[in-house]
């Protein structure tokens, strides 16, 4: 059980939202008379309770006595987290939000925010003195507040960022949840090889065909060089979920192979990864057992839905991985700086 209290404008509500994300049942400003029922009720998990001067029946002495009684009966092991900030910071925050301080005297110019802060500081002094943890948010960014609470109250494995790598086909549109999208339609399409067409990017012959494309190696090197530093940067910024989507024409060959490789690359770096092949109706957790594929309508990656074979001579060379100049005639006149 965590009792979150502190100065108005210091970030108490933000702290409660973080604890809610961490799995706590969160109640903000319940009447103190019902506090015991909340704690001892049936089937109660971790609790986070917000208490401040707005709470009905607010009495710091009675609250502390009640928490001591809970500790003595071993009914709960409550901790008090007091969220604080410097007076000038609180004044600026109230000015920016244009909210009235809950203890500001009515009718005073500017709402009497400074007087309200002084009154609140006096009323909350017993709770600040008894607090197990005082957090000063004067210069504390919200992502850092989140990390501090996660380290102290988050279940093992919950803190940090989860990554989803998803393959998809463009005819059905971009995945709505995608944060980063990479287009793989520049790679050779196995669809035009009758032997590979019925397979997917999870099959070894298709993987060998795609990875044999001269464009694959440089693309892979640049993609991982981009993503490897981005993931910790996103986590540092407080991001909890990241979805990387890789698309091709049908969502069956090129994007599937790239998603497979990328998911395992990211998992190898220690990130929890969910691998999803949208057009194949397959989801897999890494590490973990593969989830069962669910029946669905024919996916967009079926042969009839792929782009028609080009009518140019390039189609005759599309299955010739050993001749990149013929496979991509526009490259023949350009110097290769790789």
The answer to whether 10 is a known ligand-binding residue is yes
In contact, 59 and 12? CB cutoff 8 Å? no
The answer to whether 61 is a known ligand-binding residue is no
The answer to whether 138 is a known ligand-binding residue is no
Element (H, E) at 241: strand 241-248
Backbone angles phi, psi at 42, to 5 degrees: -70, 145
Cis peptide, bond prior to residue 50, ω within 30 of zero: no
The answer to whether 53 is a known ligand-binding residue is yes
The answer to whether 255 is a known ligand-binding residue is no
The answer to whether 106 is a known ligand-binding residue is no
Residue 292 tokens, joined: 């069962």
The answer to whether 8 is a known ligand-binding residue is yes
SS3 at position 169: strand
In contact, 27 and 47? CB cutoff 8 Å? yes
181: which strand partners?
Answer: 245
DSSP codes joined into one string, 8-23: TTSSHHHHHHHHHHTT
The answer to whether 183 is a known ligand-binding residue is no
The answer to whether 269 is a known ligand-binding residue is no
User: Rg of the chain's alpha carbons, rounded to an integer?
Assistant: 29
In contact, 234 and 242? CB cutoff 8 Å? yes
Residue ranges in the chain assigned as alpha helix (H): 12-21, 35-40, 60-73, 87-97, 113-130, 142-153, 204-211, 216-236, 254-268, 314-317, 324-327
> Cα 285 from chain centroid?
16
Measured CA to CA, the distance from residue 85 to residue 9 in angstroms comes to 8
The answer to whether 52 is a known ligand-binding residue is yes
Name the packing angle between helices 254-268 and 216-236 (round to 10°). 50
Strands lying side by side in the sheet with 162-169: 180-183, 241-248, 162-169, 273-277, 282-286
Binding site, annotated residues for ATP: 6-13
Binding site, annotated residues for GTP: 52-55
Binding site, annotated residues: 6-13, 52-55
């Amino acid at each position: 059980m965590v009792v979150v209290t502190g100065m108005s404008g210091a970030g108490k509500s933000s702290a409660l939202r973080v604890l809610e994300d961490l799995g706590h049942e969160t109640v903000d400003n319940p009447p103190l008379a019902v506090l015991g029922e909340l704690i001892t009720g049936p089937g109660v998990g971790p609790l986070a309770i917000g208490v401040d001067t707005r709470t009905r029946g607010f009495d710091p002495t009675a609250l502390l006595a009640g928490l001591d009684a809970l500790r003595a009966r071993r009914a709960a092991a409550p901790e008090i987290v007091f969220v604080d900030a410097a007076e000038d910071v609180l004044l600026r925050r109230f000015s920016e939000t244009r909210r009235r301080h809950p203890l500001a005297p009515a009718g005073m110019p500017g709402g009497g925010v400074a007087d309200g802060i002084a009154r609140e500081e006096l009323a909350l002094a017993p709770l600040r003195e008894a607090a197990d943890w005082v957090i000063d948010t004067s210069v504390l960014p919200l992502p850092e507040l989140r990390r501090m609470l996660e380290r102290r109250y988050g279940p093992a494995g919950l803190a940090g960022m989860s990554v989803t790598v998803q393959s998809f086909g463009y005819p059905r549109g971009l995945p709505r949840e995608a944060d980063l999208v990479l287009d793989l339609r520049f790679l050779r399409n196995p669809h035009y090889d009758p032997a590979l067409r019925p397979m997917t990017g999870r099959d070894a012959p298709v993987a060998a065909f795609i990875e044999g494309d001269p464009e694959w190696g440089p693309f892979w090197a640049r993609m991982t060089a981009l993503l490897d530093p981005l993931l910790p940067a996103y986590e540092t910024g407080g991001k909890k979920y990241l979805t990387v989507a890789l698309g091709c024409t049908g969502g069956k060959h090129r994007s599937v192979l790239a998603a497979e490789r990328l998911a395992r690359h990211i998992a190898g770096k220690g990130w929890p990864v969910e691998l999803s092949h949208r057009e194949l109706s397959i989801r897999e957790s890494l590490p973990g057992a593969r989830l069962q594929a669910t029946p669905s309508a024919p996916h967009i990656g079926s042969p009839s839905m792929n782009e028609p074979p080009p009518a140019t001579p390039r189609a005759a060379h599309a299955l010739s991985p050993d001749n990149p100049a013929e496979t991509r005639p526009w490259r023949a006149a350009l110097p290769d700086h790789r």
